[in-house]
A = this chain, B = another copy of it.
Amino acid sequence: MTGEGTAADPDSPVGEATTETYTASVIGGTGFTGGELLRILAGHPSFEVVQATSRSADNMTVGRSHPNLRGLDLRFSSPEELEPVDVLFSATPHGVSMERIDEYVETADTVVDLSADFRLPEAALYDEWYDGHSAPEYLERAEYALPEINRENLPGADLIAGGGCNATATILGLKPLVDAGVLGPETGEVVVDVKVGSSEGGAGGGAASSHPERSGVVRPYAPTGHRHEAEIEAYLGLSVSFTVHAVDMVRGASATCHVFPEEPVSKGDLWGAYRGAYADEPFMRIVSGSGGVYRYPEPKSVAGTNHGEVGFELDPGNRRVVVFSAIDNMTKGSAGQAVHAANVALGLPETAGLEFDGLHPVGSP
Contact = CB atoms under 8 A, between A and B. Distances in A.
Contacts of A356: 356
A244 to B, nearest CB: 10
Nearest to A214: B211
Nearest to A250: B363
A258 interface: yes
A363 B169 CA distance: 20
Interface string A316-346: 1000101010100010000000000000000
A99 interface: no
Contact of A210 (B39, B197, B205, B216): B205
A4 interface: no
- How many copies of this chain sit in the oligomeric assembly? 4
Contacts of A193: 191, 193, 256, 258
A249 interface: yes
Interface stretch (A46-54, A77-85, A284-292): A284-292
Given A39-B359, A70-B285, A211-B209, A216 B64 contact: no
28 contacts: A35-B361, A39-B357, A60-B292, A67-B287, A67-B298, A67-B358, A68-B359, A68-B360, A70-B287, A71-B357, A188-B189, A189-B320, A191-B191, A210-B211, A210-B214, A215-B364, A216-B250, A217-B249, A217-B300, A218-B249, A218-B298, A218-B300, A220-B297, A224-B322, A225-B315, A225-B316, A247-B248, A303-B359
Interface of A: 32, 35-36, 39, 42-43, 60, 64-71, 188-189, 191, 193, 195, 197-199, 201, 203, 205, 207-220, 223-225, 241, 243, 245, 247-252, 254, 256, 258, 260, 285, 287, 290-301, 303-305, 311, 313-316, 320, 322, 324, 326, 330, 355-365
